[in-house]
Structure 1
Amino acid sequence: MPVIDVDGIRTRYEIVGDGPPILMFSPGGFDSSLDNWTSFGRYKELGFIDALSQEYSCIVFDRRESGQSGGRLERLAWPKYVDQAIGLLDHLGLDAVHTMGGCVGCSSAALLAIAQPGRVRSMVLFSPAGGVTYRAAQQKRFTQHLGFALEHGVKAVVEHAQSTASGFSKDPRVGPWAAALRTDDDFARRYAETTLERYQTIVAGSARLLFDRDTVPGPEPEDLQLLEVPALIVPGEDLSHTRSAARYLEECLPQTDYWDVPVIEQTRDASTARVREFLSRH
């Protein structure tokens, strides 16, 4: 798969299909790799890439610190994920695209539309992550990771991350930079040399910036209210993808098409048909 440099961060991507482009923000939390569209949870069964690539060019990529993409030890914040997406669009020479986000990818999709609304024709927000329990779980994960680092040291974080294949969601000890620690020896060396005091500030600041609200993290409500990009919103219905998160987006966004069906009815055929019908109108 192609790999490019986006502001010093290695970014792996793939284009599947031929037609109008769709930039696809992967599901999977802190392991938002492009493979998740075909291998992760319910997305494996929904088959969006197979269905959409019949009519569109599906641009999938590993979010920074995920999959085979690189990373940077810095305070993580949503705009940094958007910067990577903009860099990829610039590299591909694309002036305007549809976008689709799954799970936590919905936050990045919405923020891209806010940052550069003229480049986003429409956005599909499928099972957006968010909610009271979601925020608490994410912050708890960072707290547990920081506790491990404070007790054992930053070098121990590197050693543990490289000794397992588990991601941050399953094993908080590996931290949100685990994927990059496994694929980039230079990054791992610099990471291990970071002082504990500096590391503590980076981790605590990341948790505060990324998960600061009890609904969809990332975009401010006022920015969503001023956004004129049409959106299809498909709700989830578990503790990490609450219906309240989807309804929040519906409330804030001026141009929404809310698919009000329970997850059990969001079958492969029904979901892909609904997404394709929406995209065809924009």
Structure 2
Amino acid sequence: MPIAEIDGIETRYEVMGDGPPLLMYSPGGFDARIEKWSDLGVYKRIRLLDHLPQHFRCILFDRRENGQSGGRVEVVTWQHFVRQGAGLLDHLGVDKAHIMGGCMGCCPVSAFGVALPERTLSMVHFWPVGGPNYRISGHQRFARHLAYAEENGMQGVVDLARSHDKNFSADPRCGPWAQPIRNSEAFASAYAAMDLSRYLLTVNAMYRGLIDRDTSPGAEPEQLMQLDIPSLIVPGADNFHSTSAARYMQECLQGSEYWDIPADDLTEQNAPTRLIDFLKSAD
């Protein structure tokens, strides 16, 4: 798949289909790869990529620090993911696009709409992450990494990350830069040489900014309430995709469409059709 350099970081991407552009922020938490649209949970069941590219130019990518995309050790915020998506649109010569996210990918969609409403044709939030269990588990994941790094040092994190292929969600000890460590010898060497105390401060600031509330993160409610962007919300119903988070998005996004369907009732027959109808109505 092609690679684009965006904000100084390599981004692996793929374009499928033709029609109005649809930028798709991958699901999968801290393993947000293109493939997750096809092989993860509900997305595997509803097979969106068998249908959406028949109507839209689907722009898929590995989120930075995930898959084959690169990374950079810094206080990563939702705005960094906005810059990645917008930079990919620039690379492809796309001025405006529909913006869709699944799972944790919904957070940068919210941030994108707030930062760049003039480039956002519509927003789709499919199973937005959120809820107290999501916040607690996210903080625990980062805490496990911080404890491991403090005890074993930066080289210890590199050695652990390279001892297996588990992502940050599967083995939190490896941290959010595990995949770039595996992808690049230069990145791994620079990472191992970092000052541990400064690194710990960076990671603390990062997770407190990314996972900062008991509902869906990404943008402030006061910012979302000012948007006039057609929006569709498809609720989840588990510990990481709480229905309360989806209802929060409905409350914040004035005039949004809330598809009140039980998660188990989503199928290949109804989900792609519902999304296609909404996106076409928002053109």
Tell me if both proteins adopt one fold, taking TM over 0.5 as the criterion: yes
SS of aligned partner of 1:233: strand
Q: Hey, which bits of structure 1, 4+ residues long, moved more than 6 A?
A: none
Work out the CA distance in 2 between the residues paired with 1:121 and 1:8: 27
CA deviation digits over 1:144-202, x for unaligned, max 9?
11000111111110111111111111111110111111111111110000011011111
CA distance in 2, matches of 1:188, 1:176: 13
Measured on the aligned residues, the alpha-carbon RMSD in Å equals 0.8
Question: Per-residue CA shift, 1:102-145, capped at 9, x if unaligned?
Answer: 00101111111111101111111100000001000000000011
| Secondary structure, counterpart of 1:30 in structure 2 | coil
For 1:187, what is the secondary structure of its paired residue?
helix
1:240 paired residue number: 240
1:252 is aligned to 252
TM superposition shift of 1:255: 2.4
CA distance in 1, matches of 2:180, 2:24: 21
Partner amino acid for 1:117?
P
* Aligned pairs (5 A) from 1:167-206: 167-206=167-206
- 1:280 deviates by 1.3
2:65 maps to 1:73: no
Amino acid at match of 1:114: V
CA distance in structure 1 between the partners assigned to 2:25 and 2:147 by the alignment: 30
Identity %: 49
Counterparts of 1:91-102 in structure 2 under 5 Å? 91-102=91-102
* Separation (CA, whole Å) in 2 of partners of 1:184 and 1:35: 21
- Residue 8 of structure 1: aligned partner: 8
**Residues 20-169 of structure 1: matches in 2 within 5 Å?**
20-169=20-169
Residue segments in structure 2 that go unaligned for 5+ positions in a row: none
How many residue pairs get matched?
282
SS in structure 2 of the partner of residue 153 of structure 1: helix
* d(CA) in 2 for partners of 1:109, 1:166: 26
Structure 1 stretches lacking a partner, 5+ long: none
**Could you tell me how far apart the structure 2 residues matched to 1:47 and 1:37 are?**
8
Q: TM-score, normalized by length of structure 1?
A: 0.99
Deviations 1:218-246 (A, max 9, x none): 21000100011110000000000000000
TM-score under structure 2 normalisation? 0.98
Q: Matches of 2:110 and 2:229 in 1, distance apart?
A: 9
Quote the Cα distance in structure 2 between the aligned partners of 1:165 and 1:48.
27
